[in-house]
Amino acid sequence: MASSSSTSSTNLFVADHPVGVESRVQEVIQLLKSRQSEDPVLLGIWGGGGIGKTTIAKAVYNEIHRHHFEARSFLLNVGEVWKQDNGEVSLQKQLISVIRSSSRRITINTVESGKRILQERLPRWKILLVVDDVNKKDQLGALCIRRKWFGQGSIIIITTRDHDLLRWLQVDHVYTVNAMNDSESLEATTQALIIYFLFLQERFYDVFLSFRGKDTRERLTSHLYTSLQNAGIYVFRDDNEIQPGEKISVYLLEAIRQYRICIVVLYSNYASSNWRMQELEEIMKCRRRWGLVVIPVFYEVDPSEVEHQTGWFGDGFERLISRISMRNDMRRNWKEMLLEIGGIAGFIFPNSRNGNEYIRILVEHVKSRLSQSGPFY
């Protein structure tokens, strides 16, 4: 059933990227604060469809629902629920459920019996109540939304497209939701474009090509990148230079998680870079957690040297750990990570001779993996 009744101190979900909501919420709260007594306050939020009435009501509810109310309820989509089988009684039951004085089961068979219970119990409670998307007087009548039925200190908020309903109800305040101003419209449009761009970006690249430095760029990775692109494979090439000591970008860490395959080019000087090791750590996490396919390319380095940190590869790793402050557990984790990637069946490029043939085989392998359906493991 498309309804909701919040009865706890839990916040309601408002929106992923709300624009202009906070200023409107504060305007509504100022109206509520302007009351001169402890009499119940009725406030209407009025505006056209899709303009943000429910979003504002949820945000106001989140802001004030912890303020010493004895009961609280948010009845969502009242107009839609009303049209469902037994919808009137269902709404009454939701409201009654938050003003029960005992756990005794209450039976409601008709709208009239529900009204009698509400009229008897509502005046005893200080309640925060939001009645969302009301479009008929009958709905207000069935839920006893009249000032005389509510206890001292209660706040009742009604969202509607029908201004006449609010006039009939004699609410204390009407908050009119206007369209966004130019600044808010620009912000909303910008956010929408960013979200759309990220949506496309998540699906645009197939392969993350991880390498660093001049050691491999000219002799291998530029050629590999071009060959993958020519094969119709969308590749993100991570070859930006970075200043010594700079930490890996959170954006790059987030980006790694979007790809289906990651090709890691390992070479003799690879493990001497803190940046490269951080990136590899994130790549291997994605392999363990989400099944990212990791394809190591051992360029002029033996896999066993990577596994056991020996030879020139091991010398580079020792230079790194002597240069930076590193906890013992971090050093152990990195050694285990190198052991793991060194043991993955990858591609060995012993030298630049026959490089074209090695690259052709690697590209065919990547195409084959991408053609597989479902997640990779």
**pLDDT grade for 26, boundaries at 50, 70 and 90:** very high
pLDDT at 115: 95
Q: What is the architecture of the domain spanning 21-181?
A: 3-Layer(aba) Sandwich (3.40)
Which is higher by pLDDT, 9 or 88? 88
pLDDT at 286: 85
Of 138-147, 173-182, 188-197, 342-351, the poorest mean pLDDT is in: 188-197
Collapse the DSSP code of 326 into the 3-class scheme (helix H, G, I; strand E, B; otherwise coil) and give the result.
coil
Phi-psi map region of 341: left, alpha, beta (phi>0 left; psi -120 to 50 alpha)? alpha
| pLDDT tens-digit series, residues 124-137 | 999 999 999 999 99
| pLDDT tens-digit series, residues 260-278 | 899 999 999 899 988 888 8
**pLDDT, mean of residues 197-213:** 63
Phi-psi map region of 179: left, alpha, beta (phi>0 left; psi -120 to 50 alpha)? beta
Separation between Cα atoms, residue 362 and residue 24, nearest integer Å: 57
pLDDT at 324: 81
| pLDDT tens-digit series, residues 348-363 | 987 666 678 888 999 9
Question: Could you give the C-alpha distances from 178 to 49, 76, 117, in angstroms and in order?
Answer: 11, 21, 38
Which is higher by pLDDT, 182 or 307? 307
Residue 315 has pLDDT above 70, yes or no: yes
pTM: 0.50
Q: What is the architecture of the domain spanning 205-371?
A: 3-Layer(aba) Sandwich (3.40)
- Mean pLDDT across the chain: 82
Separation between Cα atoms, residue 83 and residue 339, nearest integer Å: 63
DSSP secondary structure code for residue 188 in this structure:
H
Percent of the chain with pLDDT over 70: 78
Domain extents in the chain: 21-181, 205-371
Strands (DSSP E) contained in the chain are 41-46, 71-75, 127-134, 155-160, 173-176, 207-210, 235-238, 261-266, 293-299, 347-349
**pLDDT, mean of residues 94-112:** 81
Separation between Cα atoms, residue 102 and residue 285, nearest integer Å: 51
Residue 376 has pLDDT above 50, yes or no: no
